[in-house]
């Protein structure tokens, strides 16, 4: 029996499109299924000014079809000019500002070391209603990598939110039950994105039976109890949780290395995987909220008028193992189970 599911066209609230040949190779994988995406600014060098964001937006539009809208972000540094941020937002060039603690992840060397130095920008953002998107991990070498998200909540996120109560914040790519509980405990102004891969893998998938570089990403996947908490949050219908794939391509030779890059590339099969995860949780009716309604509600944007239809098939849906790009092949995330839902 065939089943179909029609949804408003989904959005991806956390996406890495890169630049140059990689951008050209992988952007169509997102534009095929998603109407809008929040575009991460961690290029080399990073996107730090409104002018740079406008130029990057043009480069994205040049390689995607009509109907895909990149929502640009600025990379927050200790020298970011509050006036430039507010002007870029008022001009419709940017949607949000991204906070990377310095050294937390791929291309984050220009990130923030001393949070007191960005107070002026955060105040201006609160005033102008510009959301702050947090890579929520501390970088203190003494903190175990599996604890870095939970410690970030106590040491950085909660103090920022107490000091700047009007600031709207998204905790990006949450990976722990601690983050789920923190978001739920806050009455307003805080949302969280959840990736596709963190709904599927735990840390055993990375480390048991041989090391799997294609499952290595940041924040790193945690133990199974945390994955279960993420599935519960995503499928609960709570509007504060929404999809941000964090699809983060690296050429295979950069992943399959003695010091491999962090990032899972899920753009190609994300919707098939999510339909599987939500169906398995008995929550297929809540997929629409997670991928198409909760994000726009947080950002104060309309739900997309266009629709997308998923169909459940009897035989597994084929998808490419890798995408060939001018920057080299990029391996598509393997959820470890066959997929039966396909996008029509
Ligand atoms: C991202 C990347 O490769 O840019 N990597 C990742 O593992 N998620 C950076 C990030 O979002 O942390
Ligand atoms: Zn990311």
DSSP per-residue codes, 248-269: ----HHHHSSTTPPP----TTT
Report pLDDT for 89.
98
**Continuous H helices in 113-269:** 119-128, 148-152, 158-163, 177-185, 203-207, 224-234, 252-255
Respond yes or no: is residue 246 known to be catalytic.
yes
CB 149 within 8 A of CB 136: yes
The parent domain of residue 316 ranges over 4-343
d(C-alpha 100, C-alpha 98), whole Å: 6
CB 124 within 8 A of CB 94: no
pTM of the complete model: 0.97
The preferred substitution site among 40, 219, 263, 330 for testing ligand 1, maximizing ligand atoms within 8 Å of CB, is 263
Report pLDDT for 108.
84
The preferred substitution site among 37, 104, 149, 218 for testing ligand 1, maximizing ligand atoms within 8 Å of CB, is 218
* Residue tagged 């998808």 (tokens): 319
The separation between CA 171 and the C-alpha centre of its own chain, rounded to angstroms, equals: 10
Look at the chain and report how many structural domains it folds into. Answer: 1
Mean pLDDT, contiguous 10-residue spans, the chain (344 residues): 89 98 98 98 96 98 93 97 98 97 83 92 98 96 97 96 96 98 96 99 98 98 98 98 98 98 98 98 98 98 98 96 98 98 97
Ligand nearest to the CA of 105: 1
Residue 249 belongs to domain with CATH number? 3.20.20.140
Report pLDDT for 103.
84
Nearest to 69 by CA among 17, 111, 19: 17
Report pLDDT for 65.
82
């Amino acid at each position: 029996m065939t089943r179909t599911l029609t949804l408003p066209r989904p959005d991806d609230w956390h996406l890495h499109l890169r630049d140059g040949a990689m951008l050209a190779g992988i952007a169509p994988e997102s534009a095929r299924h998603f109407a809008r995406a929040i575009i991460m600014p961690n290029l080399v060098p990073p996107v730090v000014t409104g002018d740079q964001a406008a130029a990057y937006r043009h480069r994205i539009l040049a390689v995607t079809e009509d109907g895909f809208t990149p929502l640009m972000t600025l990379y927050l540094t200790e020298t970011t000019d509050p006036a430039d941020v507010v002007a870029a937002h008022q001009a419709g060039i940017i949607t949000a500002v991204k906070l990377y603690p310095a050294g937390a992840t791929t291309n984050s060397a220009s990130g923030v070391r001393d949070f007191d130095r960005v107070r002026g920008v955060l105040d201006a953002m609160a005033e102008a209603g510009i959301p702050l998107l947090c890579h929520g991990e501390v970088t203190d070498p003494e903190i175990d990598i599996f604890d870095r998200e939970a410690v970030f909540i106590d040491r950085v996120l909660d103090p920022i939110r107490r000091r700047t109560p009007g600031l709207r914040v998204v905790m990006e790519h949450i990976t722990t039950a601690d983050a789920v509980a923190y978001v739920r405990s806050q009455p307003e102004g805080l949302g969280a994105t959840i990736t596709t891969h963190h709904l599927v893998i735990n840390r055993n998938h990375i480390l048991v039976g041989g090391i799997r570089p294609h499952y290595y990403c940041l924040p790193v996947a945690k133990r199974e109890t945390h994955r279960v908490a993420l599935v519960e949050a995503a499928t609960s219908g709570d509007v504060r949780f929404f999809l941000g794939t964090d699809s983060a391509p690296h050429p295979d030779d950069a992943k399959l290395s003695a010091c491999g890059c962090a990032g899972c590339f899920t753009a190609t099969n994300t919707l098939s995987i999510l339909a599987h995860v939500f169906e398995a949780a008995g929550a297929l009716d809540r997929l629409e909220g997670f991928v198409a309604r909760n994000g726009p509600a947080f950002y104060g944007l309309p739900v997309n008028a266009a629709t997308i239809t998923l169909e459940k098939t009897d035989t597994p849906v084929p998808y490419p193992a890798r995408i060939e790009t001018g920057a080299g092949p990029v391996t598509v995330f393997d959820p470890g189970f066959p997929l039966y839902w396909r996008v029509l």
